[in-house]
Amino acid sequence: MSRFYFTKMSGSGNDFVLFDQKLNENLSLSPIFVRKVCDRRNGIGADGVILISESKDYPFEMTYYNSDGSTGSLCANGARCSLWYCFLSKRIQSDRIDFLSNNISYSGQVLEDERVIFYLLSPKKMKFDFKINAAGQLINACFCDSGSPHVVININDVLQQPNQANSRFDNLDNFPVKEIGSEIRYSPDFAPDGVNVNFIDSTNSVINIRSYERGVEDETLSCGTGIVASAIITFFKNKRKLPINFLAKSGDILTVDFQQNGNEIENISLTGPAKIIFNGEITI
């Protein structure tokens, strides 16, 4: 039996179990361990696990694991939680800090009232207005890799009844996010790694969004990189003015801002809440 200390955190409803290597010197995270910890019935329960460890050239390094034990992609809400934890635990002394994740340098800023800004890199790839075969129909979609690969779909482009052109969805509350999201996530078009899927309703000034995340294999209450991808797509397609506000499933508002330099997107930021839910220990 081994005892480990953890901090349960939430980034606008996207929840994580954070382990600090300083407090858990003998901790080694395996996919089996991560899956046990994230199990909401037999473990602590979370969308993912974050490991904060020492770095030679940075104040800290963040390693993120999805709840299925996979790793390698960026988690923006996890990054904001990591910044908040390291600020509160005095690991970082200033409110603006660089850190390492997946051997890539990122930065963030801690604001007041449990709000944290995370600065992302320019998107690796974007694609507009292509068709995806799902839910018995061809659905118009866009793609943006904001650190993780994301499909973005406006719910008005999805038919409730595939053979009825006037049956378009107009309410995100009753949209079948998990059913259609999982079908697209496992589509051969995105094999073998799969894709995250975001459904948006841009009718109002604040864009409503719901997201299906690979690695969690379910809808989450918020997806940071998905919100950023959706903001970039909406900016180009709908000419939205910056900054762009999103209402996540959790009920929290997150804000995306960036600068356009020709065809390049630069200085991308995601601002939203991050908080500690509780501290505890687990014996495995």
Does 223 lie in the same domain as 146? yes
Q: Are 279 and 19 in contact (CB under 8 A)?
A: no
Peptide bond just before 192 cis, omega within 30 deg: yes
Alpha carbon distance 65, 85 (integer Å): 17
- For position 177, what pLDDT does the model report? 98
- For position 96, what pLDDT does the model report? 86
- For position 59, what pLDDT does the model report? 95
The residue-averaged pLDDT of 200-211 equals 97
No. of helices (H) and no. of strands (E), the chain:
4, 17
Domain count within the chain: 2
The residue-averaged pLDDT of 6-20 equals 98
Share of the chain above pLDDT 90, in %: 92
Does 145 lie in the same domain as 107? no
- For position 284, what pLDDT does the model report? 81
- For position 170, what pLDDT does the model report? 94
Rounded to the nearest integer, the mean pLDDT of the chain is 96
Three-state DSSP class for residue 178: helix
The residue-averaged pLDDT of 27-53 equals 96
Domain that holds residue 257: 125-272
- For position 112, what pLDDT does the model report? 86
Does 145 lie in the same domain as 239? yes
Does 267 lie in the same domain as 189? yes
Closest CA to 85 of 57, 62, 69: 62
Q: Which one-letter amino acid corresponds to residue 13? A: G
The residue-averaged pLDDT of 73-87 equals 97
Q: Are 111 and 137 in contact (CB under 8 A)?
A: no
Q: What pTM did the predictor assign? A: 0.97
Does 263 lie in the same domain as 130? yes
Does 141 lie in the same domain as 81? no
The residue-averaged pLDDT of 36-41 equals 96
Does 154 lie in the same domain as 39? no
Q: Which residue in the list 38, 81, 142, 223 is annotated as catalytic?
A: 223
Q: Please, is 85 exposed, middle or buried when counting C-beta atoms within 10 Å of its C-beta (0-12, 13-18, 19+)?
A: buried
223 as an active site residue: the answer is yes
For residue range 99-151, what is the model confidence (pLDDT) as tens digits? Answer: 999 999 999 999 988 999 999 999 989 999 999 999 999 999 999 999 999 99
- For position 72, what pLDDT does the model report? 86
The residue-averaged pLDDT of 9-24 equals 97
Does 131 lie in the same domain as 23? no
Does 106 lie in the same domain as 204? no
Does 229 lie in the same domain as 193? yes
Does 131 lie in the same domain as 57? no
Alpha carbon distance 125, 202 (integer Å): 22
Residues near 113 by beta carbon (within 8 Å), at least 6 away in sequence: none
Please give the DSSP secondary-structure letter assigned to residue 211: E
Does 229 lie in the same domain as 201? yes
- Asked if residue 48 has pLDDT above 90, the reply is yes
- For position 113, what pLDDT does the model report? 86
Closest CA to 18 of 76, 86, 91, 68: 86
Q: Which helix (H) or strand (E) holds 235?
A: helix 224-238
Q: Which one-letter amino acid corresponds to residue 176? A: P
Q: Which residue in the list 75, 81, 142, 144 is annotated as catalytic?
A: 75
- For position 263, what pLDDT does the model report? 79
Peptide bond just before 243 cis, omega within 30 deg: yes
Find the CATH number of the domain harbouring 110. Answer: 3.10.310.10
Please give the DSSP secondary-structure letter assigned to residue 121: P
The residue-averaged pLDDT of 67-71 equals 95
- For position 92, what pLDDT does the model report? 87
- Asked if residue 93 has pLDDT above 90, the reply is no
For residue range 209-251, what is the model confidence (pLDDT) as tens digits? Answer: 999 999 999 999 999 999 999 999 999 999 999 999 999 999 9
The pair of three-digit structure tokens given for residue 132, joined into one six-digit string: 């995806």
- For position 94, what pLDDT does the model report? 84
